[in-house]
Amino acid sequence: MLGGCRHAGARAGLGAQQPNRRHGSRSTLRYGSLGLRHFAWLLLPLLVALAASAQPTNPPHPQDPLMSLMISQPKIDISAPVAPTAAFDPPTTAPGQPTIYRVTFNALEETIDMPDKLAAPAGLALSKGAHGEVLRVGQGSFLPLTAFNYRVRPAAAGTFTMPEFTATVDGKPVRVPSARLEVVPAAPAQPAQRILLELAATNVFAGQAVRAKVVLPGSFGGAVQGLAQVQLTGQGFLVDLGAAHQRIEMLPFESGRLPSYVYETTLTPLMAGKLSVFAQGFVAGNRFTGTITISGTAIIPGGMPQYTLVETEPVELHVRPLPTEGELPGFTGGIGNFTLGPPSLRTNVLRAGDVLTLSVTVTNRGDGPLARLVAPPAPHAPDWQVFPPEEVAPPQGVVAGPERMAGVTTFNYTLIPLTEQARATPAIPFSYFDPERECYADLTIPAVPVTVKPGVVPGDLQALVQAATPSAPAEKEPVLRGLAASPGRTAATLVPSQQQAWFPLAQLAPAALFAGLWAWDRRRRFYEQHPEVLLRRRARRALRRQRRVLRQAARAKDAPGFAAAAVSAMQVACAPHYPAQPRALVGKDVLALVQDSGGNGRAGEVVRRLFGVNDATRFAVNGGDATELLALEPEIEGVLQRLEERLVGQ
């Protein structure tokens, strides 16, 4: 029993444990599935990052080379205190010899404001010369240096001292120290360092390119210095910086041949007249940091490179305008002596509608540079479509040796034959002005024979054919006339109207006109409200006229005219008081006013007698005698005076 019970219990125990096993297995499976899901969520960001990295990305934009160059440059140090200097170069000279009064600042030129005129001592005249700016290399930065030159040529020996003066740098006043010049009878042994300016021609035409050469002589020891910031200064001309080049050359001078620095460029005068031009540049002294020693002995003292602004003597250019007579077709401003090479084509056999390139080379055979030669415009041809030309610069080294400044240029014209009837390329009118012969020369580009075969002509080419066919002659382009030889009536001066003395008065003219209109309107309104004032004023003017007539009649002993003038004067003086027309008044009306004005009995009797004699003279059969009225002139004048005073008093 016990055994069975134990067996039954064991079985019962086994049966009771089965559900627990199944429940435990389900729990284990559920916990396992939750762990996998958590692991997937943890891997999701990693998968997204890998997918993003697998996608192609845009390469970064390359940085602008110019911006990179600007960023790599050292900065300009403008924090140092401004310490100006002033000195004469050379400090000792002879009478009549030129020297330079130079003022330098360690600041940018655009921040410096120099006085318009410096106070020079008596006997020393200054004239403005070159001015410029250069950047010196410092410790990790650029140091600005600005110089102002003044030309000095003393007339007599003596000692001259330029006093201190005040300049403005960045809005702050800065004191420039004084400088001393010794003028001795004998010339100094070592004059100031100067440069030379040579122009190929000084009598030229407007628009003619002139070769300019700036020379800095070297020393007999073979040392040659260079020029920095070389420029030609003046008004009325254009400098071609693209044609500038420099070299070292042995040149003859008074003391022998010296190695010299040569800077060449071209300038083109743009206006006629006398033009003044001079060259300037900075010369750097051969100085070094520290000292140079040989066998322990100091040879050269150290220091920063010293930049000196030097300049040439002014050179005058006499510029004449181009003549208008004899100008040929195709003139585009070319001045010189040119030759035209034979036109060249890539092929002479083509089909209608094919593109053809016509190349022509122009060479300057004179001494001057080619400068900027403008190609002649494309011609209009019925069988050709010609596009504007393109200028092709010659390759380097085409013209070598001393004549490398001579110009060679090539023009390319693009042509399209529109029909197979085209037998040659169109001739292109071209001309230039020869300054040696002072006349225009023909340089027309000739026609080149071609063979045009029929081709498939599209519809748009047919439109070009119709558009290229001239239906009417083209209008001539208007051309401005040349400069007048003398000032006209409307432009007697080049001073603007805003700077002339009468301009402020002209600005007051509208205000004066407005004030006059306002006064006139005010007077009109016043007379509308007080018409009696206007009537009395008119009556006074008419009374004065009648009194003048009366006096003339009295002097002429014209008794009837005297009586008529006296009666008219009294009628005019009394008319505003009624009011009535002067001719409508009779003696009774006048007599009433005369008595009211304080007239005595004699005045009334004079009025009665005057009107009676006047009426008799005018209306009686036999007429009256008005001679006796001439004796009453003083009394009549008194009556008229009282009547006029009454007009003024009211």
CA atoms within 13 A on the CB side of 490: 0
**pLDDT band per the 50, 70, 90 thresholds, residue 149:** very high
Report the alpha-carbon distance of residue 386 to residue 380 in Å, rounded. Answer: 7
Q: What is the mean pLDDT of residues 606-610?
A: 86
Q: What's the average model confidence in pLDDT over 370-398?
A: 74
For 41-50, 102-111, 166-175, 330-339, which range has the lowest pLDDT when averaged over its residues?
41-50
Which pLDDT band, with edges at 50, 70 and 90, does 292 fall under? very low
Residue 4 is predicted with a pLDDT of 41
DSSP string, 112-174: EE--SS--PPTT--EEEEEEEEEEEE-SSEEEEEEEEEEEE--SS-EEEEEPPEEEEETTEEE
pLDDT score of 258 = 82
Q: Can you point out the beta strands (E) in 380-490?
A: 384-386, 390-392, 408-417, 431-434, 439-442, 451-453
Per cent of the chain over pLDDT 90 is 26
66 has pLDDT over 90:
no
Torsion of Cα atoms, 303 then 307 then 312 then 317, to 10°: 170
Angle, vertex CA 275, rays to CA 273 and CA 281, nearest 5: 170
CA 63 vs. chain centroid, Å, equals 36
How far apart CA 60 and CA 80 sit, in angstroms, is 40
Domains and CATH numbers, the chain: 75-183 (2.60.40), 196-286+302-320 (2.60.40.2430), 336-394+404-468 (2.60.40), 531-649 (1.20.120)
SS3 for 284-295 is ECCCCCCCEEEC
Predicted confidence (pLDDT) at residue 399 exceeds the cutoff of 90: no
Q: What is the pLDDT of residue 154?
A: 87
Cα 490 to its chain centre, rounded Å, is: 23
Q: Are 142 and 77 in contact (CB under 8 A)?
A: yes
Share of the chain above pLDDT 70, in %: 76
Residue 401: pLDDT band (50, 70, 90) is very low
Out of 76-80, 107-111, 252-256, 600-604, the most confident range is 107-111
Mean of pLDDT values over 81-85:
92
Q: Determine the Cα angle at 322 with ends 368 and 269, to 5°.
A: 55
Task: Report residue 626's pLDDT band, with 50, 70 and 90 as the boundaries.
Answer: confident
Residue 414 main-chain phi, psi, to 5 deg: -100, 120
Which residues lie across from 240 on neighbouring strands? 266
Model confidence band, residue 20 (pLDDT cutoffs 50, 70, 90) = very low
Is the pLDDT at 379 greater than 50, yes or no? Answer: yes
The residue type at 318: H
**With bands split at pLDDT 50, 70 and 90, how would you rate the model's confidence at 192?**
low
Listed range (22-31, 184-193, 246-255, 549-558) with the worst mean pLDDT: 22-31
Angle between helical axes of 587-596 and 633-649 (0-180°, round to 10):
70
The pLDDT confidence band at residue 191, using thresholds 50, 70 and 90, is: low
What single-letter DSSP state applies at residue 206?
A: T
Mean pLDDT of 505-526: 92
Report the pLDDT averaged over residues 215-226: 76
Averaged pLDDT of the chain: 79
The string of DSSP letters for 608-624 reads HHHHHHHHHHHH-SS--
Instruction: State the pLDDT at residue 394.
Output: 52
What is the pLDDT averaged over residues 175-181? 93
The per-residue b/e assignment along 108-142, b for 16 or more CB within 10 angstroms, e otherwise, is beebbebeeebebeeebeeeebbbbbbbbeeeebb
Output the pLDDT for position 471: 53
